[in-house]
């Protein structure tokens, strides 16, 4: 009897514990159900920031490195320099080519001026020939008229044969003079055309020389620009990642050497199941906790949705039209931007890649 009486309190205690567990479990389940009606949560989320790659625009051997792992830098700070010797030589070569092009231009201008002077001389000669021809033709006409009169007089035996022959000679000389002057005019015209042609060639050569100057100037600018690229600076304020370059190391243009993590903007990428997306909208408030700092709650808001599910951006995206089809729930990346309500000190604690829990307030 005594043993049975001792067991009764023990059984009652077990019942009370069981009832309490049921109540707690039911209460927690009720809370989760009520919470789920106005919230969507996921633990598939990570902190992210802009990671700006440091990519040299020119190649060469590194001369000096001014930063080390995890340094804080400001925009414009020098990160490292590339040996400038080759690029200084290229600048000098380009400047020498520019001087040569400018010299050729001056020579071409002198040729144009000389040919222009020759054109003026040829024009004067042509005009002079035209005036001489006019005078010669007048004299030839006068000699012809005199010869006609002397011919009539000679036929009438009014003058001697010597006078007749003298008039004839004067007429022939005048006609010959006209012919000579016309030949000289034609020669002057031909010479003038040749000078004009040479002037056109000289003008074109001057234009080519001017184009060569512009090309040489562009080459100088390009050489100086490449020289400026030997000093690699920070493009943004932020923190340096691992710096694995050393002086004397050869770097190639276009190769990412390390990164600067930009601290100006921080966000969280949460991968929600497609079945959770029905009520999520842009602008909704979000509570974010990070595994590294579970006691700090960050405030954010839904900023944008990915244009496709995460699997579509994978190296080998699934193709449900081939093989056996097994339906799996897909996840859609959602960008959650941390708002300015968070303190700068708290934001500074976050690092890209940290795991986070996300709670979207639907209502």
> What single string gives the DSSP state of each residue in 102-130?
HHHHHHHHHHHHHHHHHHHHHHHHHHHHH
**pLDDT, mean of residues 54-66:** 94
C-alpha–C-alpha distance, residues 48 and 176, integer Å: 103
For residue 5, the surrounding DSSP H or E stretch is helix 2-36
The string of DSSP codes covering 143-163 is: HHHHHHHHHHHHHTT-S-HHH
Q: Are 331 and 309 in contact (CB under 8 A)?
A: yes
pLDDT of amino acid 201: 60
pLDDT of residue 136 exceeding 90: no
pLDDT of residue 7 exceeding 60: no
Note the pLDDT tens digit of each residue in 297-335. Answer: 999 999 999 999 888 888 777 777 766 777 888 999 999
**pLDDT, mean of residues 73-80:** 93
Note the pLDDT tens digit of each residue in 239-266. Answer: 999 999 999 999 999 999 999 998 888 9
Tokens of residue 188, six digits: 């002057």
For 114-118, 231-235, 324-328, which range has the lowest pLDDT when averaged over its residues? 114-118
pLDDT of amino acid 119: 57
Mean pLDDT of the chain: 80
Q: Are 259 and 235 in contact (CB under 8 A)?
A: no
Note the pLDDT tens digit of each residue in 261-288. Answer: 988 889 999 999 999 999 899 999 999 9
pLDDT of amino acid 267: 94
Regarding predicted confidence, which is higher, 27 or 57?
A: 57
What share of the chain in percent tops pLDDT 70?
69
C-alpha–C-alpha distance, residues 270 and 76, integer Å: 34
Regarding predicted confidence, which is higher, 188 or 350?
A: 350
Classify residue 340 by its DSSP letter: T
pLDDT of residue 1 exceeding 50: no
C-alpha–C-alpha distance, residues 111 and 358, integer Å: 80
pLDDT of amino acid 361: 92
Regarding predicted confidence, which is higher, 90 or 28?
A: 90
Tokens of residue 15, six digits: 């019942």
Helix, strand, coil % in the chain, rounded to nearest 5: 50, 25, 25
For residue 172, the surrounding DSSP H or E stretch is helix 161-228
For 21-35, 129-143, 263-277, which range has the lowest pLDDT when averaged over its residues? 21-35
**Residue 88: pLDDT band by 50, 70, 90 thresholds?**
very high
Tokens 């074109």, located at residue? 204
Tokens 């006078």, located at residue? 163
Classify residue 219 by its DSSP letter: H
pLDDT of amino acid 2: 46
Q: Are 275 and 327 in contact (CB under 8 A)?
A: no
For 4-8, 92-96, 175-179, which range has the lowest pLDDT when averaged over its residues? 4-8
Tokens of residue 86, six digits: 């080759």
pLDDT of residue 235 exceeding 50: yes
pLDDT of amino acid 19: 73
Sign of CA dihedral 128, 132, 135, 138: negative
Q: Are 251 and 268 in contact (CB under 8 A)?
A: no
Q: Can you say how many angstroms the Cα of residue 95 is from the centroid of all Cα atoms in its chain?
A: 24
Note the pLDDT tens digit of each residue in 42-56. Answer: 999 999 999 999 999
Distances in whole angstroms, Cα of residue 172 to Cα of each of 139, 213, 235 = 11, 61, 94
Tokens of residue 166, six digits: 């003298």
Q: Apex CA 165: angle with CA 160 and CA 166, to 5°?
A: 100
pLDDT of residue 155 exceeding 70: yes
Question: How many CA atoms are closer than 13 Å to the CA of 304, on its beta-carbon side?
Answer: 4
Note the pLDDT tens digit of each residue in 194-211. Answer: 665 666 665 666 777 788
Tokens of residue 277, six digits: 């997306």
Q: Are 263 and 239 in contact (CB under 8 A)?
A: yes
pLDDT of amino acid 100: 84
Q: Are 73 and 79 in contact (CB under 8 A)?
A: yes
């Amino acid at each position: 009897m005594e043993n049975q009486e001792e067991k009764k309190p023990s059984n009652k205690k077990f019942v009370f514990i069981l009832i309490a567990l049921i109540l707690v479990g039911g209460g927690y389940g009720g809370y989760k159900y009520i919470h789920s009606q106005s919230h969507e949560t996921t633990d598939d989320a990570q902190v992210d920031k802009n990671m700006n790659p440091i990519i040299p625009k020119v190649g060469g051997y590194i001369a000096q490195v001014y930063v080390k792992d995890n340094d804080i830098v400001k925009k414009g700070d020098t990160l490292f320099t590339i040996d400038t010797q080759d690029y200084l030589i290229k600048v000098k070569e380009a400047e020498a080519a520019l001087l040569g092009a400018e010299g050729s231009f001056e020579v071409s201008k002198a040729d144009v001026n000389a040919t222009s002077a020759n054109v003026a001389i040829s024009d004067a000669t042509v005009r002079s020939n035209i005036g001489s021809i006019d005078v010669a033709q007048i004299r030839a006409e006068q000699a012809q008229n005199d010869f006609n009169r002397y011919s009539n007089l000679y036929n009438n035996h009014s003058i001697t044969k010597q006078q007749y022959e003298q008039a004839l000679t004067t007429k022939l000389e005048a006609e010959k003079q006209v012919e000579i002057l016309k030949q000289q005019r034609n020669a002057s015209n031909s010479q003038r055309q040749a000078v004009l042609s040479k002037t056109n060639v000289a003008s074109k050569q001057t234009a080519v020389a001017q184009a060569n100057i512009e090309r040489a100037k562009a080459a100088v600018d390009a050489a100086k620009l490449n020289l400026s690229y030997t000093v690699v600076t920070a493009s943004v304020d932020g923190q340096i990642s691992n710096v694995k370059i050393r002086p004397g190391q050869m770097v190639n243009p276009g190769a990412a050497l390390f990164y600067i993590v930009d601290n100006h903007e921080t966000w969280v990428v949460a991968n929600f199941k497609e079945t959770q997306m029905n009520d999520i909208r842009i602008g909704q408030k979000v509570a974010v906790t990070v595994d590294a700092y579970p006691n700090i709650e960050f405030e954010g808001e839904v900023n944008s949705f990915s244009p496709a599910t995460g699997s579509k951006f994978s190296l080998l995206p699934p193709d449900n039209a081939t093989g056996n089809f097994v339906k799996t729930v897909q996840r859609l990346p959602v960008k959650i931007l941390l708002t300015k309500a968070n303190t700068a000190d708290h934001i500074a604690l976050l690092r890209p890649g940290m795991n986070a829990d996300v709670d979207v307030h639907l209502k």
